[in-house]
Structures are given as C-alpha cells and as structure tokens.
Structure 1
C-alpha cells in the first residue's frame, strides 16, 4: 500500500475521465436525435442472448433528455471522487461495477429493455460509501458521509416504485458496488504515522517533550551553537529565565566567544 502523502494527488484524469464519460453519453444521444436512430434495442434484455450486449452498451443509451440530464451530474461527481480517492483501482472498479450491475439486471430484470447509466451510478454510490466505512480512513469515511448526504435518497430507487424506472438495474448496481468494495477492501493508503506513534518512540528523545521539565513546566531550549568558519571560533548564546518566567533581555544577556 502507498503512503497517504502519495495516494491523494490531483492529476489530469481526475477531471478528464469523468468529462469524457459525460461527453460520450451526450454524443450518443445526439447521434440518435441527429439521424433519427433508436439504440434502445442495444440495452439489457433480461435472460436473452442478444440482451447480454446491453451489459456494456446500455449505460451509454438514454430514453430522453430528462433521463440523460438526471444521470449527467451524478456521473460527473461520483466518477471524479472515484478517480481522485481511488486512483490505483479506479479503472478496475469502473469495469467491474459496469459488468456486475449489467449482469444483475440481466438476471433479475423484467422482460423489457433496460438502458441508462443509473445502474453504474448506484454502483458508484454504494462502492464509495461502503469502501470508506470498511477502510476506516478519516478522509474516506468523510467521503462516505458526503455521498450519503448528496445521494442517500437514491436508496428508494432500488424499490419497485414506478413501472417506468428500472429498479432492478438500480438494485443490481447497489449490490455490485457493495461487493466490489469488499473485493478491494485492502486497497487503502497507509495513514501518516507521527513520531509518537512509532514502536521505537522514546519520550526523552522527542525534541518537543525535551522542552518540559520534570514538573511539566515549559522552557526554551538553548539554540545550537553556531560556528564561525573564518575565525574558527564558536559563539554560544545563553538565555536565562527568572523564577517569574520573564526572560532577561538587553544588557543582562551576554555572549562568550572562545
């Protein structure tokens, strides 16, 4: 596993890949409108041989501008989070949730054509939520809470509330995301460990703790001696603290030159 400092880094793909996905689904929809085509038959058709092609193609096909718009923003936000927080496994996660959500729809879906990016979106919501909780990393847990805040209401979409909505695709995506989160549960950054968390840590060697006396009173350590290389002399500066903790300043401080 990588260290935390090298794990969370911005790179061009964080924005570039999500924008590419959005451009693709809008371009496919534009092709349908421009040339009067209908790609619905390339969607998932449950329990049919031809319907299996929809596992890969259905996420890019939408029934109308409203359907397309509702999927655009979540796809952009969630895929950006995926590529930033899980850059090492982002493409694997994206491929697996697409395949598993599509296969799940093919297995349990009603006899109809199931199209749209919704299954992948539900899978991303599920993955980002469960992965952060499993990882127990403070940044990833915070991401899980943000996902719940933004898209927690999507859970109702996994239930048969409307005949025109593929709740089977939503449910399949949600289950696929949770499964992939378990599958890649070890892919988390190593949190930063401070000196006092190291197994060989000794309090007496800690530069900060050395500034406290045995009674817990704070004092300043004398600065390191400076070397005058030209004159081969050492300059030592002494700082004294009175009993009322006021530092002697001005003429009361002195220097010794050796």
Structure 2
C-alpha cells in the first residue's frame, strides 16, 4: 500500500517503514472489530434473536438511531460467516493508513449505507449486517491511491479489484433477501470517505506529488 545513502541514525523505524509499523495496530483493530460481531451474534442467538430489532426499518424516523448499530448485527451465523473474511481482509488493508483514519472511514460508510437503506429499502424490510461496510471499504481502497496520489495504494487497489471485483454485482437488485441498497450506498460512502479523509486534505497543503 514504502522506500538512501548511508544510514541515518535520526530515522525512526516508522520513518523507514510506515506500512510495517502500522500493521499490528491495524490487525488488532480489525480483529477486535470482527470479534465484537461474533460476540454480538452469539448473544443474539442465545436470547432468541433479540438484537435483530436493531436492524433498519425504512422510513420510520425512530429507526434512524439504528443506522450505526445495524452494521454490527447479523441474521444468523451464516450471514456473519459470509462477511467475516472480506471484512478482515479489506478492513486490515484500509486500516494500514492509520486506525484513526480507518474509524472515520468506517463511520462515514456506515452512515451513508444506513441512510441509503432507510431511504429506499422496501417497506417492512429489516436490514442489518456488515456487508455495507465491506462494499464501502472496497470502494475506498479502489480510489484511495488516486486521491492520496500514492502509487503503492493504486497498485493495492488494483489487487483488491482483481480478488474482490465480483462483489460489484451485489449493488444490483438481482437476488431477493439481499440489501443491494446497503451495498450500493456503502460503495458510495467508501468513495466519499476516501476524499473526506485524504491525507492531502487533512494536511491542509496543496496538491501533493505522486509518491
């Protein structure tokens, strides 16, 4: 998603390899995030699916408070298992640029995806799960390199596209019981998050050179 002359005793390990230095915090964050999803689902199953009420029911004002919690709930272990591996992989890659930035990105995606579901999902539906976040992280990783003008992240986005590009079919209304609305707006949220959290934007300077 890193690169002298003689040795410089003033350089820290993070100066030499920011990507490597950020690997453990990124891994720890996404492992804890995923573990929380599993804990919640075990509790949900043990209490007769009591947490399913935190899903998003569209166009009810009282349901707006469930936009964030819904991203942590699942309708059974099969639903959660399907989301676990892509969340671990894409979440780790996204968090390598900093855990604080990742949290801002994730919150943006969750809110945009949830609002999209609330606005246009079918009447009477109940939507929950991490797939909106997964689609958002996919979109974020695809464009982050171009926004930050980092060649390594552009290459990483290409690799992500090769391995996960087929999920884009999920933004189309092709399968009943699947929230294409959450997927589509999650993807949009990920692209927005790349611009909103751009390193050039947060630095407050001019347009950076490619590096």
Q: How does the TM-score come out when normalised to structure 1?
A: 0.68
Q: Check whether the contact 1:129–1:144 (CA below 8 A) recurs between aligned residues.
A: yes
Aligned to 2:104: 92
Aligned to 1:153: 166
Q: Distance in 1 between matches of 2:122 and 2:129?
A: 15
Q: Check whether the contact 2:140–2:193 (CA below 8 A) recurs between aligned residues.
A: yes
Tell me the number of residue pairs that the alignment of Structure 1 and Structure 2 aligns: 191
Q: Distance in 2 between matches of 1:97 and 1:81?
A: 16
Within 5 Å, give how 1:241-256 maps onto structure 2.
none
More deviation in 134-143 or 164-173?
134-143
Question: Unpaired runs of 5+ in structure 2?
Answer: 1-13
Moved over 6 A (4+): 188-193
Aligned to 1:33: 45
**CA deviation string 1:77-101 (max 9, x = no partner):** 1111111134452221122111121
Deviation at 1:21, TM superposition (A): 1.0
Question: Unpaired runs of 5+ in structure 1?
Answer: 194-258
**CA deviation string 1:191-221 (max 9, x = no partner):** 898xxxxxxxxxxxxxxxxxxxxxxxxxxxx
RMSD: 2.4
Q: Check whether the contact 2:151–2:210 (CA below 8 A) recurs between aligned residues.
A: no
Larger radius of gyration: 1
**CA deviation string 1:111-157 (max 9, x = no partner):** 21111001111111001111123333111011101110121011100
Out of 52, 63, 88, the residue aligned to residue 51 of structure 1 is 63
Out of 190, 199, 202, the residue aligned to residue 177 of structure 1 is 190
Within 5 Å, give how 1:9-158 maps onto structure 2.
9-87=21-99, 89-111=101-123, 112-158=125-171
Deviation at 1:44, TM superposition (A): 1.0
Deviation at 1:11, TM superposition (A): 5.0
Aligned to 2:181: 168
Q: How does the TM-score come out when normalised to structure 2?
A: 0.82
Q: Check whether the contact 2:170–2:180 (CA below 8 A) recurs between aligned residues.
A: yes
What SS does the corresponding residue of 2:50 show, helix, strand or coil?
coil
Whose helix fraction is larger, Structure 1's or Structure 2's? 2
Deviation at 1:180, TM superposition (A): 1.5
Q: Distance in 2 between matches of 1:134 and 1:5?
A: 23
